[in-house]
Structure 1
Amino acid sequence: MTTQFNDHVVWRKSSRSDDGNCVEVASTVGSILVRDSKDSDGPVLRFGPKQWRVFTQDGCGRGFSSAPAREQ
């Protein structure tokens, strides 16, 4: 399934981006969107607020756990 995002979505480049290894994020009602900045028409990951929190906390400190995050 392909999802088109309207022109009102504001994408921000990650402050941790380097030499072409960049991601962009956007916030919408109820979702955080992530895409590869080199492929703006490519696939987009969609996270719920709790999933995004777990994803960023795991990636920033403890490393990724083997169990997937679940919305509650």
Structure 2
Amino acid sequence: MYISFLFSSFYMKTEYVVLQILVLLYDQDVLTEDAILAWAREKEGADESDKVLLQQSESFIQWLQEAEEDEEEEEE
């Protein structure tokens, strides 16, 4: 039981770290919005084992997609 608790705690912390790293790289202009969204689109059809990072960063990717849609609406 203790091992499963440790694993779930580790997973939650890992998920948070992946998201924070992605946001940091975006904020520091290391990764562009287009690059992140292209990576997300590429992983959509992948096996579940390949989607782990995509799932962990889902909230940020959704935010980027919504921001992109808002920009397109403003241009029209």
TM-score w.r.t. length of structure 2: 0.25
Higher relative contact order (Cα pairs below 8 Å, separated by 6+ residues): 2
Query: Which structure: greater helix fraction?
Result: 2
Q: Point out the structure with max Rg over C-alpha.
A: 2
TM-score w.r.t. length of structure 1: 0.26
